[in-house]
Structure 1
């Protein structure tokens, strides 16, 4: 296999992970609607291209304040490509990610969204 083919396979694998939500918390297609406010679930946040989006069940969320190092990577102190923590659903349209490192990111649902805004490369 050539080096370029290896890079393409790696990129496709990452894209597949993004498309499936990159979470361990996908409780089914209607997880957000079926999850009462205040419920906290284990969550693996995709951070490879910065902290910008998350999918919980079938609902796509965006960070209220996206985080990046300025070059499309997670900021210092964040794991890459994912950060393990928890997601607390504060309502059907709001969630907060937290982790043991002290990070906290608020997310809001994107009404009508059926995919991520961008696929990380």
Structure 2
């Protein structure tokens, strides 16, 4: 009889241990479910993603301006051959490449020839500064 009672007590101990362990595991799972994700945490800042688009940069009168969507940009350092044409190594009337929008006010043109031109938005601009003929 003692042997049988001992087995029953042992078996009950296992059942209680397993149930307690499950309860604790569930409590932990509940805590994880209630933890807000990083996107929901107010103090986490995310960096806006960059956007790169195919772009034909107008070069006929030199590299000075670009229009991206409704925003007019001007080159940080305008480029020309001194006579109002693109510098040597640039296609004319346009150079195919990509424009990477770094922010609402910064963009960078690059191409397979290795050209890099930084542009800054012209606040309030509604047209190019000059029209090239």
Return 5+ residue gaps in structure 2 as ranges: 1-47
Stretches of structure 1 that go unaligned for 5 or more consecutive residues are: 1-35
Match of 1:91 among 87, 100, 103: 103
Q: CA RMSD in A?
A: 0.8
Between structure 1 and structure 2, the one with the greater Rg is 2
Structure 1 outlier segments of 4+, above 3 Å: none
Query: Normalising by the residue count of structure 1, what TM-score does the alignment of the two structures yield?
Result: 0.70
1-structure distance, mates of 2:127, 2:49: 23
CA distance in structure 1 between the aligned counterparts of 2:50 and 2:66, rounded to whole angstroms? 17
How many aligned residue pairs are there? Answer: 86
What is the aligned counterpart of 2:56 among 44, 54, 57? 44
| Aligned-residue offset at 1:62 | 0.1
Shift of 1:47: 0.1
Name the one with the larger helix percent.
2
Matching of residues 12-91 of structure 1 within 5 Å? 37-91=49-103
Relative to structure 1, the CA distance from residue 37 to residue 67 in structure 2 (aligned partners, 3 Å threshold; closer, same or farther) is: farther
Tell me, what secondary structure is at the counterpart of 2:127? Answer: coil
Q: With CA pairs under 8 Å and 6+ residues apart, which has the higher RCO, 1 or 2?
A: 1
Partner Cα separation in structure 1 for residue 83 and residue 76 of structure 2: 19
Specify the alignment match of 2:129 in structure 1: 117
Structure 1 residues 58 and 37, CA, compared in 2 at 3 Å: closer, same or farther? farther
Give the match for residue 41 of structure 2. none
Which TM-score applies when normalising by structure 2? 0.64
d(CA) in 2 for partners of 1:60, 1:37: 21
